[in-house]
Amino acid sequence: MNQRKYCLELLHEYGPLGCKPLSTPNEQNVVIATEVSDKDPLLENITYYQKLVGKFIYLTMTRPDIAYFVHCLSQFMHKPLFPHLKLAIHVLRYLKLSPRKGVLVENEGNFQLSAYVDADWAKASSFRKSVNGYCVYLGNSLISWKSKKQNVVSRSSAESEYRAMSNVATEIM
């Protein structure tokens, strides 16, 4: 399953067709700005940003590779800064590299359910909450995935991982 046509329309509408494609949805170890400053001003036209992130959210139905970055961008829908738009354009340039990527559902007869979980302990300094993500496979086919900020502040990485596993087990059941 893929959304190639939707992805190409998105690229055409938001214009990075002339840009060089990128091999990753984000640069490594980038800290997303949360406060307004001279270096990081508020966007004047927030509807442009909101529409773009909304289209990214729809695209995550078949593109789990961008789910975490869309999760990060969607937290700033009401007060987006210039660096947030810059990251969104980076994601667009990543999509340009492979617009037909998607989820492969295989018919192999293996119905073993398996899940993988990871948590990033207190990643964002502004809210100090951990972000966890998971993916669930039926055989070799990816059937569910999610990236979410935890509801409470964890005191350690072990507690963060435990909460992530607990949340996934609850959602699978």
**What digits encode the pLDDT tens for the residues 138-170?**
888 888 888 777 777 777 878 888 878 887 788
* pLDDT classification of 135: cutoffs 50, 70, 90: confident
- By the 10 Å C-beta count (0-12 exposed, 13-18 middle, 19+ buried), 130 is classed as buried
Asked if the structure places residue 108 within a domain, the reply is: no
Model pTM score: 0.76
Residues 127 and 92 in one domain: no
In a domain, 45, yes or no: yes
Closest-CA residue to 13 (of 69, 59, 64): 59
In this structure, the answer to whether residues 88 and 14 fall within a common structural domain is: yes
Using DSSP, state whether 113 is helix, strand or coil. Answer: strand
Residue 69 shares a structural domain with residue 8: yes
Q: What are phi and psi of 38, to 5 degrees?
A: -65, -35
Containing domain of residue 128, as a range?
A: 113-172
Residue 75 confidence (pLDDT) above 60: yes
The two tokens of residue 114 are 């398996």
Please state the rounded mean pLDDT for residues 108-116.
85
Of 40, 72, 97, the one marking the end of a domain is 97
pLDDT at residue number 145 = 84
Q: What's the structural domain count of the chain?
A: 2
State yes or no: pLDDT of 92 exceeds 60: yes
For residue 84, tell me if it sits in a domain. Answer: yes
Same domain, 73 and 38: yes
- 89 and 11 in a single domain? The answer is yes
46-55, 90-99, 117-126: segment of lowest average pLDDT: 117-126
- Identity of the residue numbered 4: R
Same domain, residue pair 93 and 137: no
Same domain, residue pair 9 and 87: yes
What 3-state DSSP class applies to 154?
coil
Same domain, 90 and 120: no
pLDDT-above-70 percentage for the chain? 94
Number of H helices, E strands in the chain: 5, 3
**26 and 73, same domain (yes or no):** yes
Contact 93/19 with Cβ under 8 angstroms? yes
Contacts with 109 (C-beta within 8 Å, 6 or more apart), sequence order: 139
